[in-house]
Amino acid sequence: MYADHAATTPLSSKALESMMPYLVNDFGNPSNAYSFSRAPKKALKQSRADIAAAIGALPSEIYFTSGGTEADNWAIRCVVPKLAKEKKRVIVSSIEHHAVIKTCQSLEDLGFEVVALPVDSNGVALPGYLESVIDQNTALVSVMLANNEIGTIQPVSSLAEIAHNFGALFHTDAVQAIGHIPVNVDDLGVDLLSASGHKFNGPKGSGFLYIRSGTPIAPVLFGGGQESGLRAGTENVAAIVGMTVALQENTADIHKVAEYLTGLSHRLISQLKDYGVDFTVNGSPNRIPGNLSLSFPGFDGEMVMHRLDLAGVSVSTGSACNSGSQAVSHVLRAIGLDEELASGTIRISLGAENTEADVDYIASCLIDILQ
């Protein structure tokens, strides 16, 4: 039983079906001028328009990437140095994914100052916190739309407004949010937004960066003229088409699935409570549907995860970072969990294909293990 949808999601069958023609028959290089390339070229154009429509952007503002990590690296590494003449500061929330945190840290070697934006005990980067650290020297503020460990959704539109008042650009890593909560770049007011196909039932190795028109940005890859000369390399047409179909599918059902997953989460929580299990739920009540970061005092999250695995249930630990290291997660530390509680944390992330019977089974396994 798969209950780790924040790590990755199953490929939707519609997405797979939509990819097949571009893997088998219409495999031409979309950059070529002959008629054989017409179908992949058209598919690429349509995908760009459909992704743009799904997030309220212009097609010319969508740039395809190999996933979220590349989009994050590009948004930070290739924008901040462009502003270097006047601005030398980057502000990044303390609970970002390592794709953002480590990229920001790499700017220190180029002479930039990286400032960590604190979060409250629910993992929220409050607007007042940003106001207390931002100044006219700030080039970029990067705060994720939703956190991958605790699911907390950030007040991105208020944060972006503050950044703009200080003449800074705003990037959001929306990898965990897109396809799960409604996302509109104008409502959010962001300049840059990263997304990853495999987090919303698209294929792995697909993603995109939204770049608002007029945002100064350097190419991430040099070579051919693909992606308006900013990201060279032959496009992965099949993956882009699959990602687009998956996003459209998820977007169409977004409210229904959110309600369903919230119901499943409540069901799990109330069963644990009914059995008197001692646990806390991490993160803000305003979080990604189906995300449950649970801490069990006195227990080892690694042990709980492995015991669930033996019972056939895949979940993540909330304590170790995704590299498999045993270090306590920077996210759980940032929300103030002590080492013991952080070590006793697991992350269950439910998806649309999970059922009430799945949740009942997970609850009964957890109760067994903890008893």
Binding site for ligand PLP (CB under 6 A): 67-69, 72, 97, 99, 144, 148, 173, 175-176, 196, 207
What tokens appear for 160 in the block?
A: 């972006």
SS3 for 149? coil
Residue owning tokens 């007029």:
214
Q: Which is nearer to ligand PLP, 15 or 365 (CB)?
A: 15
Dist CA 59 CA 50 (whole Å): 8
Measuring CA to CA, which residue among 317, 313, 310 is closest to residue 359? 313
Q: Which is nearer to ligand PLP, 37 or 293 (CB)?
A: 293
Catalytic residue, chosen from 78, 104, 321, 365, is 321
What tokens appear for 168 in the block?
A: 């800074």
Q: Is 78 labeled as catalytic in the residue annotation?
A: no
Q: Which is nearer to ligand PLP, 37 or 250 (CB)?
A: 250
Which one-letter amino acid corresponds to residue 21? P
Minimum distance from residue 10 beta carbon to ligand PLP (Å)? 15
Which neighbouring-strand residues pair with 92? 116, 142
Minimum distance from residue 98 beta carbon to ligand PLP (Å)? 8
Q: Which is nearer to ligand PLP, 1 or 144 (CB)?
A: 144
Which one-letter amino acid corresponds to residue 38? R
Minimum distance from residue 239 beta carbon to ligand PLP (Å)? 11
Dist CA 292 CA 290 (whole Å): 6
What tokens appear for 104 in the block?
A: 């920001």
CA 335 to chain centre: 19
Minimum distance from residue 301 beta carbon to ligand PLP (Å)? 18
Catalytic residue list: 321
